[in-house]
């Protein structure tokens, strides 16, 4: 079902294009040797280059270039062997040189694609227009002094990738899925940590609305949205606002807006600047960036298995549904955990335990899979105990809970708590006899044709046996006793 906004004049389609800023994982900055670690004291990670002292020259960081190329390859994009750095000129108190070094006309990465996955299991290909490298600016701090603003230049010069999408997205859900997938790819590649709370990944959300079949209308850009939920909310709020503007006879002006998450609305920040406002020109301090084709190929060969490939493999090798596979590959650590449990075992069972009980436990305890209270080997061992009949599927839940609580091994829990499955038909028959004797009226009803009561007897017998009866044998014994 296509996403539309119902206005008084009928349905409106929403058009979205995202510009994502991703901080490159690298020990030092794009053009200086200063450190990039998050959370250091203000202005402790600033070189003379970052502070734009006169006569300082930028020197490009090879690792940052490699990271941008890896990312381009991961987005199945064209790598431009020749790219160039430009100066984007503007005044800002936290931008000491008065310009940002960026790539404008000749970015390092050209067109690529991101496959997004939607809740109904379907996928769509979203075009990536380009990826370019640029420096981050510093930070103005307005909350440190009643009358003064302070400047922290730690972030100045940190390497960013700007990843621009085509206006291919059509709903808040798709916009959210795009950021989620992009973040997943970046994390697999190890090129950006994707941490939106710390600002290492932030999105500018471009939104317009149109009637079906029309050319695109004017868009507005919502700046610096820092969570996936806010991206989705910003799309919804901004599209709804634009529909109201058009329907009241007004026109949407191209402008830059901010999303106020408290109020769930966007408000104007400034009228949109055009490229010519920045007086772009090639940075005279930097040569064009020329990449060696063999070096790019080396990077390509060293890429890890990426989410799309892993997802396809999980479907093929483990027979998982597209949905389960997508959930399991979203994070590398989850995929690795799943594979450790599934290898040599019933993979669907493994997937059910990981996406079911384990995820629920992690959510409840606020833990990540890396510090899961139940290790993959322990969960695997528990599945072995089910497979070889030591415990039944019902008791497995209790064993799992006990593993979460105590951190003990499944075998120890089964032995200490006496949870072995009972296959002794004598014991099962005794339990059946007890239940039959206690429920003469129900027995009569069953024999009188009320078949549905069969489940009641099985349940009672299981209860009598504290859940440990072998389900198949219990079924047979109940059948024998009642007929
Ligand atoms: P600029 O260079 O002015 O920022 P771009 O052409 O680079 O403009 O587009 C910036 C972003 O806006 C891209 O992600 C693009 O997909 C998106 N975009 C362009 N036109 C529209 C539109 N009509 N509606 C929604 N998004 C759009
Ligand atoms: Mg732009």
Cα(255) to centroid of ligand 1, in Å? 12
Residues with CB under 6 A from ligand 1: 15-19, 164-167, 206-208, 216, 219
Q: Considering the chain, tell me which residue range(s) the CATH 1.10.10.410 domain(s) occupy.
A: 425-482
Cα(253) to centroid of ligand 1, in Å? 14
Position 120 scores a pLDDT of 84
Cα(336) to centroid of ligand 1, in Å? 37
Contacts of residue 454, Cβ cutoff 8 Å, sequence gap at least 6: 446, 478, 479, 482
pLDDT digit string, tens, across residues 106-137: 999 999 999 999 988 889 999 999 999 999 99
Residue 475 Cα distances to 218, 287, 394, angstroms:
68, 79, 15
Residue nearest atom 14 of ligand 1, based on CA coordinates: 17
| Token pair of 373 as six digits | 């209270």
Position 1 scores a pLDDT of 61
Cα(198) to centroid of ligand 2, in Å? 22
**Which architecture characterizes domain 425-482 according to CATH?**
Orthogonal Bundle (1.10)
pLDDT digit string, tens, across residues 18-75: 999 999 999 999 999 999 998 899 999 999 999 999 999 999 999 999 999 999 999 9
- What is this structure's pTM? 0.91
Those residues of the chain that have pLDDT short of 70 are 1, 275
The owner of tokens 């596979």 is: 325
Pair type for strands 255-260 and 220-225: parallel
pLDDT digit string, tens, across residues 361-410: 999 999 999 999 999 999 999 999 999 989 988 899 999 999 999 999 99
**Spatial separation of the C-alpha atoms in residues 428 and 114, rounded to whole Å:** 57
Residue nearest atom 3 of ligand 1, based on CA coordinates: 274
Position 453 scores a pLDDT of 87
Are 232 and 175 a contacting pair, CB within 8 Å? yes
């Amino acid at each position: 079902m296509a996403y539309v906004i119902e206005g008084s004049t009928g349905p409106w389609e929403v058009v979205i294009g995202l510009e994502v800023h991703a901080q490159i994982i690298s020990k030092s900055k794009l053009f200086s040797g200063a450190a990039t670690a998050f959370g250091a004291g203000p202005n402790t990670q600033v070189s003379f280059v970052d502070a734009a002292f006169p006569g300082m020259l930028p020197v490009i960081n090879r690792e940052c270039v490699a990271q941008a190329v890896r990312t381009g390859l991961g987005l199945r994009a064209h790598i431009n062997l020749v790219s160039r750095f430009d100066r984007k000129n503007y005044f800002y108190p936290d931008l000491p040189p008065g310009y940002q070094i960026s790539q404008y006309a000749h970015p390092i990465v050209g067109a690529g694609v991101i496959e997004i996955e939607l809740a109904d299991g379907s996928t769509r290909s979203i075009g990536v227009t380009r990826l370019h490298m640029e420096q981050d600016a510093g930070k103005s701090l307005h909350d440190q002094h009643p009358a003064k603003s302070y400047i922290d230049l730690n972030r100045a010069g940190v390497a960013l990738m700007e990843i621009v999408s085509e206006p291919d997205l059509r709903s808040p859900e798709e916009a959210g899925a795009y950021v989620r997938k992009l973040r997943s790819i970046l994390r697999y590649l190890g090129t950006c940590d994707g941490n939106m709370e710390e600002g290492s990944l932030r999105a500018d959300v471009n939104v317009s609305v149109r009637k079906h079949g029309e050319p695109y209308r004017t868009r507005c850009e919502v700046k610096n949205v820092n969570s996936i939920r806010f991206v989705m909310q910003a799309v919804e709020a901004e599209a709804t606002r634009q529909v109201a503007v058009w329907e009241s006879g007004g026109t949407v002006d191209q402008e830059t807006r901010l999303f106020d998450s408290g109020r769930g609305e966007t408000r104007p920040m400034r009228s949109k600047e055009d490229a010519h406002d920045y007086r772009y020109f090639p940075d005279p301090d930097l040569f064009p960036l020329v990449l060696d084709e063999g070096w790019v190929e080396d990077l390509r060969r060293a890429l890890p298995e990426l989410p799309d490939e892993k997802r396809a493999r999980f479907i093929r090798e483990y027979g998982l549904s597209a949905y389960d596979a997508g959930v399991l590959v979203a994070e590398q650590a989850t995929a690795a955990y799943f594979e450790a449990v599934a290898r040599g075992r019933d993979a669907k069972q493994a997937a059910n335990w990981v996406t079911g009980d384990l995820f629920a436990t992690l959510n409840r305890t606020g833990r990540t899979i890396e510090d899961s209270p139940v290790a993959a080997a322990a969960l695997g061992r528990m599945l072995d105990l089910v497979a070889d009949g030591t415990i039944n599927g019902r008791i497995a839940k209790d064993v799992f809970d006990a593993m979460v609580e105590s951190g003990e091994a499944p075998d120890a829990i089964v032995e200490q708590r006496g949870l072995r499955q009972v296959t002794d038909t004598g014991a099962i028959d005794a339990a059946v006899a007890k239940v039959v004797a206690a429920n003469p009226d129900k027995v009569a009803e069953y024999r009188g044709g009320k078949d549905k009561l069969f489940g009641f007897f099985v349940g009672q017998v299981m209860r009598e046996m504290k859940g440990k009866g072998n389900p198949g044998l219990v079924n047979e014994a109940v059948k024998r006793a009642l007929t």
